[in-house]
């Protein structure tokens, strides 16, 4: 007797040597902004529906969709996890993610503020300290997973720091909240 509990070809990763989440403040900001723009978006949309005859009202009908979409994106990125195991590195959620397997990694460079995973094909993944809570544990997780890495003292190169999404995403979420507030104010003024 046999039982199949997964589709063929699905590779299960081993036990995680380390699993990391976004910084608590950034996760909290993403959650608050998502619920805030969702509530304001519903209000804006319902207020705009009463004035369908006005020219340009389609902007107020589309704006909540845009702001809610940005809120969903920010919340999704901040709830993703970075997982290090014997099979490689994975970024994503339980149901979906992106993996760079060990056989694809040519070099792992550990800097003071980032880690670079160089790939045989595709681009280099940079994991920045400002994006991940308890970032110092990533190097320990690499060691625990028996992944070879090279320690480089000092800051990561500029291209690695530019790929850090932390500050830009937080600023985008704050701008998203201001935009949703402005759209609601315009809808109230109609």
CATH number of 132's domain: 3.30.720
Report the distance separating Cα 121 and Cα 89, nearest Å.
Answer: 15
Domain tally, the chain? 2
Whether 134 maps to a domain, the answer reads yes
Report how far residue 144's alpha carbon sits from residue 18's, in angstroms, rounded to the nearest whole number: 8
CA distance 40 to 184: 6
Do 98 and 113 reside in the same domain of the chain?
yes
Does pLDDT of 4 surpass 50?
no
* Position with higher pLDDT, 104 vs 166: 104
Q: Tell me the C-alpha distance between 100 and 123, whole Å.
A: 11
Say if residue 142 is in the same domain as residue 129.
Answer: yes
C-alpha pair distances (Å), 145 with each of 60, 70, 118, 119, 140: 51, 35, 17, 18, 9
Rounded to whole angstroms, the Cα distance separating 120 from 26 reads 32
What stretches of the chain show up as alpha helix (H) in DSSP?
Answer: 24-49, 57-79, 136-144, 158-162, 166-189
Over residues 136-147, mean pLDDT: 87
User: CB neighbours (10 Å) of residue 99?
Assistant: 16
Q: Rounded to two decimals, what is the model's pTM?
A: 0.80
Summarize pLDDT for 59-71 with one digit per residue, the tens.
888 999 999 999 9
Structure tokens at 17: 């040597």
Contact 102, 134 (CB under 8 A): no
- What percent of the chain is modeled with pLDDT above 90? 40
Give the pLDDT confidence score for residue 75 in this predicted structure.
Answer: 96
Claim to verify: residue 98 and residue 60 sit in the same structural domain: no
Q: Domain of 138?
A: 87-164
pLDDT of residue 158: 82
With respect to residue 72, please indicate whether it lies within any of the assigned structural domains: yes
């Amino acid at each position: 007797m046999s039982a199949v509990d997964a589709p063929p070809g699905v590779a299960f990763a081993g036990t995680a040597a380390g699993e990391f989440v976004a910084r608590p403040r950034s996760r909290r900001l993403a959650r608050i902004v998502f619920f805030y723009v969702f509530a304001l978006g519903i209000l804006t949309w319902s207020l705009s529906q009463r004035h369908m005859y006005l020219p340009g009202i389609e902007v107020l009908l589309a704006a909540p969709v845009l702001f809610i979409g940005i809120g969903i994106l920010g919340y999704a990125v901040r709830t993703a996890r970075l997982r290090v195991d014997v099979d490689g590195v994975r970024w994503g959620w339980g149901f979906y993610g992106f993996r760079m397997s060990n056989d694809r990694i040519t070099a792992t460079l550990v800097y003071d503020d980032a880690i670079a995973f160089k790939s045989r094909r595709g681009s280099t993944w940079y994991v920045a300290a400002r994006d991940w809570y308890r970032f110092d544990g990533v190097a320990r997780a690499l060691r625990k997973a028996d992944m070879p890495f090279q320690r480089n003292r000092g800051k990561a190169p500029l291209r690695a720091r530019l790929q850090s999404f932390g500050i830009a995403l937080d600023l985008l979420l704050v701008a998203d909240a201001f935009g949703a507030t402005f759209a609601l104010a315009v809808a109230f003024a109609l």
